[in-house]
Structure 1
Amino acid sequence: MLVKTEGFVLKNRKYGESDNMLVIFSRKLGKINAIAKGAQKPKSALMAGVQPFCYSEFLLYRGKSLYTVSQCEPKEIFYKLREDVKRLSYAAYLVELVEVVTNEGQTNNRLFNLLGKTLYLLTKPEIEVNTVVRSFEINFLNYCGLKPELHRCVHCNKITADYWKFSPQEGGLLCNHCSSVDPYAMKISETTLRLARYLQSKEIHEVRKLKISDTLNEALKKLLKQYILVHINKYDFKSLEVAEKL
């Protein structure tokens, strides 16, 4: 059976002498594994469209356990990402997040569209990278069914408090009366909370030029890092470590 679908190449590794094994996040099929036969050959018609990050239109043949790429037409290769190591590393981090959380055969159009918009924004030199990455993380959590509660206490449902703490384990805010529920709950300032709520309420293109101070970015990054670690059990992203050292 042949299937035609758009997709992003999340992973590409050498397979045999001239083939590539791909992980593709596709619109119609969700995450799939596919082999691109002969893609490493210099004159291969598949080579351009199966590179990491590429947004391509694939014609796929479904075998018993694996898809085979019959045709591949690149629609956007995000070439400018490869001209900036820092932006390339952040893009690799976002792709890693998507690869970890998506399940084979399960579609997620909102996440698919978010990834495409974010990769596109990262190619633009005028874009605030920290803002885009934090916005992606928050929307990523929303679209994966892991949305943190940022407007009320997750324990007693109060919407006001003398102060708030953020509990990754409990899934969001704890008011001052309930903070003892999680002794490891993290302090969150009113400014950081306002920023998180704002990013959670906006599409990524709406915040693309918002400037976040380094201090505020670090505070929000710390909270989201721990939340992601708790809920998807991973935060050893080498690509992110590279980006933050540059």
Structure 2
Amino acid sequence: MVLKTEGLVLRQTKYDDWDKILTIFTRNNGKIQAIAKGARRPKGSLIVGTQVFAYSEFLLYRGKNLYQVNQADIIESFFSLRDDLYKLAYATYIAELVDAGAVDELANIKLFDLSIKTLRVLSKLKKDYKKLLIAFELKYISFIGYRPHLRSCVICNKELGNRVKLSAAHGGSICEECSYRGYNGYAVSKDIIAKIDQLLYVPLDNIEELCIPSKDLNIIESLVLEYVMNHIEKRNFKSLEFLKNLEG
């Protein structure tokens, strides 16, 4: 079977002298594994379109165990992400998250479009990388089925008061009354919940217009990361550790 599809290269592994195995997140066929024969040859026709972060139009042949890449025409290389160590670290973490959340051969077009959009915005940003990443994480976790319930209590659906908790386990905000009934979470201000809600729904093109103080952003970063990690199977990300070391 021959498959023609747009795809984003999330990961590559060396295979034999000139070949490599790719993890590709495709628009219409979800995550797939494919072998790109000759893709490591310096002058090979597949070298550009099969790099990590490459957004390409792929022509694939389905073999017994793996797809085979017959053609990879580059749409966007996102090559500039490699010129900035911080951007490279953020992009690598984004790719790892998508790899962890995407399902083999099950399309998730919203997540696919989000991934491309985030890399596109990141490649142009001169600051606010952390803000962009948190907005991505919130949209990402929503598109794989775990959107946080923020605007009212996730347990009783009543309006939130001034004393609020955010619970990864329960999937959102918890009011004071439900907290007294034994539903636990991290105590946060109502303002922090409102800012998380803003990050969840802000268009990524407008991320620089969203003003959040650094102190609040650091709190939100920890809360959102805990929320994400509570809902995916993978918890250890080498890129995240590198990013933390990089930022000190």
With normalisation by structure 2, the TM-score equals 0.94
Matches within 5 A, 1:169-184: 169-180=169-180, 184=184
What residue number does 1:113 align with? 113
- TM-aligned CA deviation for residue 126 of structure 1: 2.9
Deviations 1:106-134 (A, max 9, x none): 11111111111110111114342121111
Deviations 1:54-85 (A, max 9, x none): 10110000112210000111111111110111
Residue type of the partner of 2:115?
L
Residue type of the partner of 1:193?
I
CA contact (8 A) 1:20 1:40 kept: yes
CA contact (8 A) 1:128 1:210 kept: no
Matches within 5 A, 1:1-246: 1-180=1-180, 184-246=184-246
What is the rounded CA distance, in whole Å, between the counterparts of 2:210 and 2:139 in structure 1? 16
Residue type of the partner of 2:151?
H
Secondary structure of 2:124's counterpart equals coil
What is the rounded CA distance, in whole Å, between the counterparts of 1:226 and 1:50 in structure 2? 32
What is the rounded CA distance, in whole Å, between the counterparts of 2:236 and 2:72 in structure 1? 32
- TM-aligned CA deviation for residue 214 of structure 1: 1.9
Residue type of the partner of 1:232?
I
Seen in structure 2, the aligned counterparts of structure 1 residues 218 and 182 have a Cα distance that, compared at 3 Å, is farther
Seen in structure 2, the aligned counterparts of structure 1 residues 68 and 166 have a Cα distance that, compared at 3 Å, is same
What is the rounded CA distance, in whole Å, between the counterparts of 1:7 and 1:75 in structure 2? 10
CA contact (8 A) 2:24 2:31 kept: yes
What is the rounded CA distance, in whole Å, between the counterparts of 1:203 and 1:243 in structure 2? 24
Aligned residues: percent identity? 39
CA contact (8 A) 2:58 2:71 kept: yes
- TM-aligned CA deviation for residue 88 of structure 1: 0.6
What is the rounded CA distance, in whole Å, between the counterparts of 1:34 and 1:152 in structure 2? 44
Q: Which moved more, 1:128-137 or 1:183-192?
A: 183-192
What is the rounded CA distance, in whole Å, between the counterparts of 1:183 and 1:153 in structure 2? 11
Residue type of the partner of 1:152?
S
What is the rounded CA distance, in whole Å, between the counterparts of 2:18 and 2:52 in structure 1? 17
CA contact (8 A) 1:28 1:107 kept: yes
CA contact (8 A) 1:130 1:212 kept: no
Secondary structure of 1:178's counterpart equals helix
With normalisation by structure 1, the TM-score equals 0.95
- TM-aligned CA deviation for residue 233 of structure 1: 3.2
Seen in structure 2, the aligned counterparts of structure 1 residues 9 and 131 have a Cα distance that, compared at 3 Å, is same
Deviations 1:202-240 (A, max 9, x none): 222232443432211111111111111211133322212
Deviations 1:171-224 (A, max 9, x none): 111111111455651012122111111122222223244343221111111111
CA contact (8 A) 1:121 1:127 kept: no
Deviations 1:15-44 (A, max 9, x none): 112110000000121100000011111221
Q: Which moved more, 1:109-118 or 1:127-136?
A: 127-136
What is the rounded CA distance, in whole Å, between the counterparts of 2:6 and 2:208 in structure 1? 25
Residue type of the partner of 2:142?
N
Q: CA RMSD in A?
A: 1.5
CA contact (8 A) 1:167 1:182 kept: no
